[in-house]
């Protein structure tokens, strides 16, 4: 039995426990996995500059975001198909969130209502717009009725990434695992070897803004230009993310992209951050660079 001391230890333990193709689905990055490696390496390259003899007897990790106070700046990123990894799927993750925001994926296996009633912290919903917009409208309504507090519109997935490692493993969404928020087109689009497209544009963001008054963050911003446009278009926040390096290989490590975004956002909206966060020092670095909070994806699923 692996001793579970670090988040990487959970990965090792998970690999021993779940079917090989499911592990590959979780762990894989896109193409040659350069960005997957960089997400971690870039953190390791940034050196801390310690100051001594500061009074650290009292430490306060609390943050305030959209009017709510959180005990710490660590949230749970949306991860699809969690019942491939555990029978209770997203409901169990929501229960374990323990006060942290749990961002529910559109491609969750548990219905949003079940997740919300299991939740021990606020629920946000990640949105993949469906080709049939009425389905998306219906999901937004259901999320609002279930008490969801914000939406994260994923903007980095007009097509699914080329995940060669996942393809090699033969991963398929098991037929017995439901995707209650996706129609057949949406399910096909997000399957392992799909070429289906679901392009979205700034117009679609405006459509979403038109059907809800909850805050909408744009998830998958990597440039200052897009961050500035997101604010002009009415985004309540941006999430600097490269989708855990699963979509487009050779985009920058998120911690390398963060300073450019911070510079253009100029404190006007909160900046959330994910990609390769595995240590407290990673979080210190992201916050020192200007993030309000970080999200973790793979580690909580492991």
Catalytic sites, residue numbers = 243
Residues 241-260 that bind ligand FNR (CB under 6 A): 241, 243-244, 246
Give the interface segment with ligand FNR, choosing from 158-166, 175-183, 256-264, 269-277 (CB under 6 A).
Answer: 269-277
- C-alpha 274/C-alpha 285 separation (Å) is 12
Q: Which residue is nearest to ligand FNR (CB)?
A: 297
At its nearest, how many Å lie between ligand FNR and the CB of residue 297?
A: 2
Report the residue number, 222 or 228, with the smaller CB distance to ligand FNR.
222
Mapping DSSP to helix (H, G, I), strand (E, B) and coil, where does residue 106 land? coil
Q: How many Cβ atoms from other residues are within 10 Å of residue 7's Cβ?
A: 16
- Please check whether residue 83 is in contact with residue 114, taking contact to mean a CB–CB distance below 8 angstroms: no
Residues 23-82 that bind ligand FNR (CB under 6 A): 25-26, 39, 77-80
Q: What are the CA-CA distances from residue 98 to residues 31, 89, 120, 193 (Å)? A: 35, 16, 5, 35
Report the residue number, 51 or 103, with the smaller CB distance to ligand FNR.
103
- C-alpha 116/C-alpha 141 separation (Å) is 14
Of 235, 236, 254, the residue nearest 244 (C-alpha): 254
Contact flag: residue 154 with ligand FNR (CB under 6 A): yes
Size of the residue set binding ligand FNR (CB under 6 A)? 23
Residues 94-123 that bind ligand FNR (CB under 6 A): 105, 107
| Residue from 186, 215, 270, 276 in contact with ligand FNR (CB under 6 A) | 276
At its nearest, how many Å lie between ligand FNR and the CB of residue 61?
A: 19
| DSSP-derived secondary structure letter, 216 | E
At its nearest, how many Å lie between ligand FNR and the CB of residue 154?
A: 4
Report the residue number, 77 or 143, with the smaller CB distance to ligand FNR.
77
Give the interface segment with ligand FNR, choosing from 86-94, 170-178, 225-233, 294-302 (CB under 6 A).
Answer: 294-302
At its nearest, how many Å lie between ligand FNR and the CB of residue 110?
A: 13
Look at strands 237-240 and 271-274 and give their pairing.
parallel
Rg of the chain over all Cα atoms, to the nearest angstrom: 18
DSSP code per residue over 121-160: S-EEEEEPPPSSHHHHHHHHHHHHHTT--EEEEE-S-SB-
- Please check whether residue 72 is in contact with residue 61, taking contact to mean a CB–CB distance below 8 angstroms: yes
Residues 6-25 that bind ligand FNR (CB under 6 A): 25
Mapping DSSP to helix (H, G, I), strand (E, B) and coil, where does residue 91 land? helix
Q: Tokens 């975004």 map to which residue?
A: 261
Q: Which residues contact 208 (CB under 8 A, 6 or more apart)?
A: 127, 129, 136, 140, 151, 153, 216
At its nearest, how many Å lie between ligand FNR and the CB of residue 213?
A: 22
Contact flag: residue 189 with ligand FNR (CB under 6 A): no
Give the interface segment with ligand FNR, choosing from 205-213, 230-238, 256-264, 275-283 (CB under 6 A).
Answer: 275-283
At its nearest, how many Å lie between ligand FNR and the CB of residue 113?
A: 18
Kindly list the residues in this chain that would bind ligand FNR in the complex (CB under 6 A): 25-26, 39, 77-80, 105, 107, 126, 154, 219, 241, 243-244, 246, 274-277, 296-298
């Amino acid at each position: 039995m692996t001793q579970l001391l670090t988040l990487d230890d959970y990965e090792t333990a998970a690999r021993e426990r779940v079917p090989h193709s499911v592990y590959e689905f979780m762990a894989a990055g896109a193409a040659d996995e350069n960005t997957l490696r960089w997400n971690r390496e870039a953190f390791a390259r940034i050196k801390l500059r310690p100051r001594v003899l500061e009074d650290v007897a009292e430490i306060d990790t609390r943050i305030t975001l959209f009017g709510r106070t959180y005990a710490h700046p660590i949230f749970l990123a949306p991860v699809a198909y969690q019942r491939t990894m555990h029978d209770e799927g997203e409901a169990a993750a929501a229960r374990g969130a323990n006060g942290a925001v749990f961002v529910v994926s559109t491609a969750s296996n548990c219905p949003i209502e079940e997740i919300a009633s299991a939740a021990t912290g606020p629920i946000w919903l990640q949105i993949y717009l469906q080709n049939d917009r009425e389905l998306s409208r219906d999901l937004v309504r259901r999320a609002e009725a279930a008490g969801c507090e914000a939406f994260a519109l994923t903007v980095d997935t007009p097509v699914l990434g080329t995940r060669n490692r996942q393809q090699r493993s033969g991963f398929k969404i098991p037929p017995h695992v439901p995707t209650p928020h996706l129609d057949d087109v949406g399910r096909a689009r997000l399957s392992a070897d799909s070429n289906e497209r679901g392009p979205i544009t700034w117009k679609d963001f405006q459509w979403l803004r038109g059907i809800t008054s909850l805050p909408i963050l744009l998830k998958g911003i990597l440039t200052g230009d897009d961050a500035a446009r997101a604010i002009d278009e009415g985004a309540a926040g941006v999430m600097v993310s490269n989708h855990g390096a699963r979509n487009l290989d050779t985009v920058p490590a998120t911690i390398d992209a963060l300073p450019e975004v911070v510079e253009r956002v100029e404190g006007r909206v909160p900046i959330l951050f994910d990609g390769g966060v595995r240590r407290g020092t990673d979080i210190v670095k992201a916050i020192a660079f200007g993030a309000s909070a970080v999200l973790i994806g793979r580690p909580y699923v492991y």
